[in-house]
Amino acid sequence: MCSQVILNIMQDGGKKLKESIKYYIFLGFLIVLVNPFISHRGRTILLYFFDNPVTLEAVIYGIAMMMSLITILIAFVSYNMVITCDKFMFLFSSIFPKTAFICMMAMRFVPVLKKRSQDIALVQKTRGTDTSTGSFIQR
């Protein structure tokens, strides 16, 4: 994980990583919290939760899963900086042309949708409708 963080800092000073690390850490802690309640394997029982044992081994395995997942997600941050949609299409178009095209369209859809939603929010704001407050239905 340290090498992935260093690589990301060398690529762009860690800007992209700073944007997404809070979500990755939240997901990791969610795994650490949920895993002991799902997996009951282990010898060292720490406590019982609704008659299900919470074991030390399950907690340690949850921490290991968190570290592995965060490492993979940080690697994908670096991958997305290096491999653009055009490079992806160039690499895989000769092997799997239809699959490469569908994957490229899917990867391109997320930033376009984000930009479109920001534009719509800006238009709504100029009309006098505040889209940052209220529930989802009210917005």
- Residue 95 confidence (pLDDT): 84
Domains in the chain: boundaries: 1-82, 84-139
- Residue 139 confidence (pLDDT): 62
Strands 52-55 and 45-49, sheet pairing: antiparallel
pLDDT tens-digit profile of 63-90?
Answer: 999 999 999 999 988 888 888 877 877 8
Concatenating the DSSP letter of every residue in 92-125 gives: HTTT-HHHHHHHHHHHHHHHHHHHHHHHHHHHHH
How many CB atoms are closer than 10 A to CB 86? 9
Q: Per the structure block, which two tokens stand in for 60? A: 């340690």
Helical packing angle, 85-92 and 97-126, nearest 10°: 160
pLDDT tens-digit profile of 95-135?
Answer: 888 888 888 888 788 888 889 988 988 888 888 777 777 77
Give the mean model confidence (pLDDT) for residues 11-38.
90
Instruction: Report pTM.
Output: 0.67
End-to-end CA distance of the chain: 40
CB contact set of 97 (below 8 Å; sequence gap of 6+): none
CB contact set of 107 (below 8 Å; sequence gap of 6+): 85, 88
> Are 95 and 89 spatial neighbours (Cβ–Cβ below 8 Å)?
no
